[in-house]
């Protein structure tokens, strides 16, 4: 049975993380080319307008780490399904994206993640949060990574086993349950 069109499977309400009122969430099941079945959730708070969205694999894979060594330009086109509980690490760039209480899940590419990082650096630099030279250096480094001029390691840490990277180079490393740190506040 295939799901060529997104099919609504669930509807529920959660507390809006911004204003505390009710946020209606709708979930859709979608059979995505190359990825397989994914569940896409999205909601908008009618009170404050806050938008939330998440994506996860319909089939849970267990806690794992997915590692891609980016060495050539085509490697950055790998599709990334990052559910809201997954972290992204790029040690060579000093990048660590960890999930927060209001974090979103999304489907993008490795390049898309790098572009997002560039945006964040730009924002911090405009706000004057970092010295100018550091800004330029960091942006230069991320640009080089984007063009695969410097090799780097893209790591998706997925404690729920609901994220994935579509790439021949993706290495999957199961996470030891004991190592799984999920300190909820
Ligand atoms: Zn709200």
* Ligand 1 center from residue 156 Cα (angstroms): 30
* Ligand 1 center from residue 123 Cα (angstroms): 25
Residues facing 43 on adjacent strands: 25, 52
pLDDT of residue 61: 92
Average pLDDT of the segment spanning 31-47? 94
- What mean pLDDT value characterizes the chain? 91
* Ligand 1 center from residue 106 Cα (angstroms): 21
* Ligand 1 center from residue 26 Cα (angstroms): 16
* SS3 (DSSP) at 115: helix
Model-level pTM greater than 0.95? Answer: no
**What's the rounded Cα separation, in Å, for the pair 85 and 161?**
9
* Ligand 1 center from residue 114 Cα (angstroms): 29
pLDDT of residue 105: 95
pLDDT-derived band at 177, boundaries 50, 70, 90: low
Instruction: Report whether 156 contacts 88 (CB < 8 A).
Output: yes
CATH architecture assigned to 60-185:
Sandwich (2.60)
User: DSSP for 69-101?
Assistant: EE-SGGGGG-EEEE-TT-EEEEGGGTEEE---T
Give residue-wise pLDDT tens across range 140-174. 999 999 999 999 999 999 999 999 999 999 999 99
* Ligand 1 center from residue 27 Cα (angstroms): 19
Measured from the Cβ of residue 179, the count of other Cβ atoms closer than 10 Å reads 8
Higher pLDDT, 114 or 126: 114
CATH class as words, domain 1-59: mainly beta
User: Which helix (DSSP H) or strand (DSSP E) does residue 140 occupy?
Assistant: helix 132-146
Instruction: Return the domain boundaries, the chain.
Output: 1-59, 60-185
Give residue-wise pLDDT tens across range 61-104. 999 999 999 999 999 999 999 999 999 999 999 999 999 877 89
Helix, strand, coil shares of the chain, percent, nearest 5, are 25, 40, 35
């Amino acid at each position: 049975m295939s799901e060529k069109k997104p099919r609504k499977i669930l509807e529920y309400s959660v507390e809006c993380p911004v204003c505390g009122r009710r946020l209606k969430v709708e979930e859709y099941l979608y059979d995505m080319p190359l990825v397989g079945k994914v569940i896409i959730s999205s909601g908008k708070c009618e009170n404050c307008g806050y938008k939330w969205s998440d994506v996860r694999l319909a089939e849970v894979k267990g806690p794992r780490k997915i590692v891609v060594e980016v060495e050539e330009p085509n490697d950055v086109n790998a599709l990334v399904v990052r559910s809201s509980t997954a972290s992204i690490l790029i040690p060579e760039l000093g990048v660590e994206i960890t999930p927060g209480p209001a974090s979103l899940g999304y489907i993008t590419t490795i390049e898309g993640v790098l572009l997002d990082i560039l945006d964040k650096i730009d924002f911090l630099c405009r706000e004057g949060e970092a010295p100018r030279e550091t800004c330029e250096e960091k942006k230069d480094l991320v640009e080089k990574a984007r063009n695969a001029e410097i090799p780097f390691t893209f790591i998706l840490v997925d404690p729920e086993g609901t994220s994935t990277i579509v790439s021949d180079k993706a290495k999957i490393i199961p996470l030891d349950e004991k190592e799984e740190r999920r300190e909820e506040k």
